[in-house]
Amino acid sequence: MTAEKTIQKAVKTIINLRETTNSPVHALIYGNWGVGKSYSAQKVAQKEKGVFYCKIPDGNISKSKLIKIIALSAGAGYRHLYEGTFDLLKYHLLVNNYQHPIFIIDEAQRILKSSLLMSELKDLSEDPSLKFSYIFLGDHTTADIFKAHRHSLHKRILIKEKLQPLTEETIVEIAKEKGVEIDPKIILEVGKDKAWTTIDIAFLFSYLSQLLKVKKIELTKETIQEISKKLWKEE
């Protein structure tokens, strides 16, 4: 399953579980670099009403900065003080009828260690006027951090998924998006040999889509290998 489909499935499952349990529930999705987490999360947020994408920056994050990040992702803007941003966020969600919004929190491994920030997220999820749900999206270190830093919010994380490496399904999805017709088995074979990620595949197909507009070429294994040498300046 592609990263995008995994995140979409998590959104739908959260909505269903929320109705069943009558309380906020959350998800944890993680995987290696380059499997398309951030790109896919942003696409899902653009498609789904009431789903917002926010990325946690590196470095120390305060409670005030966290609420600003969340408010900005929802399109609410922010105020200088925490209370002002909080009130602005609540008003924005109410006016736009965003009931029980879902926030995809990218680079979640950066805040999973913080009891203070996790408690803040828990409070926001339990506020009757907000009832936020979260999809914690993290890198390959996330599972270990999650186990090492326990928090009461974890009890409400009912969905846990590890994103898988490059697959034929992912290749087909990207090829369709970029308008490139090719046997996915060729890309999978070359990609495994060169340790390509979904980012590499997207870059390759973007180049191929432009190239095929200029001239007609047969996309064989040998052709892909030659193009790869040019694109990545391989010896």
How many other CB atoms sit within 10 Å of the CB of residue 177? Answer: 14
Q: Which residue has the higher pLDDT, 230 or 56?
A: 56
Give the pLDDT mean for 97-108: 95
Taking the CA atoms of 19, 20, 26 and 30 in sequence, report the sign of the dihedral they define.
Answer: negative
Task: Return the minimum-mean-pLDDT range out of 37-51, 70-84, 190-204, 209-223.
Answer: 190-204
Q: Is the pLDDT of residue 1 over 80?
A: no
Give the pLDDT mean for 105-119: 96
Q: Per the structure block, which two tokens stand in for 19?
A: 């109705």
SS3 130: coil
Q: Is the pLDDT of residue 170 over 90?
A: no
Element (H, E) at 180: none
Q: What are phi and psi of 33, to 5 degrees?
A: -60, 145
Q: Is residue 161 within 8 Å of residue 7, measured between CB atoms?
A: no
Taking the CA atoms of 11, 23, 131 and 152 in sequence, report the sign of the dihedral they define.
Answer: negative
| Assessment of whether the complete model's pTM goes beyond 0.85 | no
pLDDT in tens, 136-165: 999 999 999 999 999 999 999 999 999 887
Q: Per the structure block, which two tokens stand in for 102?
A: 């879902």
